Amino acid sequence: MKAIVTGGCGFIASHVVDRLVSQGHDVTVIDNMSTGYIENIQHHLDKDAINLLKFDLGDMEKTKNALKNADAVFHLAANADVRHGLEDTFRDIDRNILVTYNILEAMRLNDVKQIIFSSTAATYGEPDVFPTPETYHPRQTSFYGASKIACEGFIEAFTEAYGIQSWMYRFVSIQGERHPHGVTYDFVKKLKADPTHLEILGDGTARKSYSYIGDCVDGFFTGYEKSPGKAELFNIGQTEFIDVRSVADIITNEMGLDNVEYNFTGGKRGWVGDSPLVHLDVSKLMAYGWKPQVNIEETVRRTVRWLLENPYVYK
């Protein structure tokens, strides 16, 4: 098939590109390079295995032209930083909602019938049911989560109105090779600058269910390849969780650092909209044969090793 991958130079999307290329598909990557890294897909460009289009998906005409004759759109382009929505309240509307609308409208105009969308566990806000199932009805606590659930709504509406198939995935925090932001990225960066002290946002008790990038992509394609695609919604996460202080312990150990002093900023949340516990129910996806293979500790260790070996993500 002819597959479009938006944000294809980014972390998760570049791994989706890897999988599609390995399956023999015709892949076009669209990325405005605002947060993506060309290094993430350079191995495909060297072999002329993919087509790279550098433009912003806010440009409707370019988006419409790029989707001509496409069979499926893997839509992962987004503003993915939860914290910065408080500084710029239009950012998530612009980068998430409006861009997703442009994709859907371009699909309608070009009669493209499949969209695979990366959503987020942030859509659940601060739930009171754990593990949290896809059927949970949340109250939004972040602009990022609100924008993603709005995107899901538009996708569902286009699915119903125009006979499009859609698969939507609510991720926990994903880590692994090419990890470009988040707690492990931040801690490694801080410890490289000062290996004796580590600032930790909050009080270190926040519990998260980090997932390995390989498991994430396996889940992504399991749902896509095995479920009907009538506005399908899946959680992707882990069957376990870990507190932030324990993550810091794993990272300092992996970096070979002793007696690091932890400085906590205080409070249960690192920032407004940061949920003190993220633990999703992944049984729906597991019913299709998927299962996470890498535990959280090994996920963090693999991420640290890759970050230390690939300093380009800190430039």
Contact 236, 212 (CB under 8 A): no
Contact 67, 106 (CB under 8 A): yes
Would you list the domain boundaries of the chain?
2-174+212-236, 176-209+240-278+294-314
How does pLDDT run across 26-38, given as a tens digit for each residue? 999 999 999 999 9
Q: How confident is the model at residue 43 (pLDDT cuts 50, 70, 90)?
A: very high
Q: What is the Cα–Cα distance from 250 to 41, expressed in whole angstroms?
A: 29
Instruction: Kindly report the CATH number that applies to the domain delimited by 176-209+240-278+294-314.
Output: 3.90.25.10
Query: Does residue 83 carry a pLDDT above 80?
Result: no
CATH 3.40.50.720 fits 2-174+212-236, yes or no: yes
Q: What is the Cα–Cα distance from 225 to 147, expressed in whole angstroms?
A: 27
Q: How confident is the model at residue 279 (pLDDT cuts 50, 70, 90)?
A: very high
Q: Which two tokens stand for residue 3?
A: 């597959």
Q: How confident is the model at residue 104 (pLDDT cuts 50, 70, 90)?
A: very high
Q: How confident is the model at residue 86 (pLDDT cuts 50, 70, 90)?
A: confident
Q: How confident is the model at residue 278 (pLDDT cuts 50, 70, 90)?
A: very high
Q: Do domains 2-174+212-236 and 176-209+240-278+294-314 have the same CATH topology?
A: no
Contact 175, 303 (CB under 8 A): yes
Q: What is the pLDDT of residue 81?
A: 72
Q: What is the Cα–Cα distance from 73 to 151, expressed in whole angstroms?
A: 14
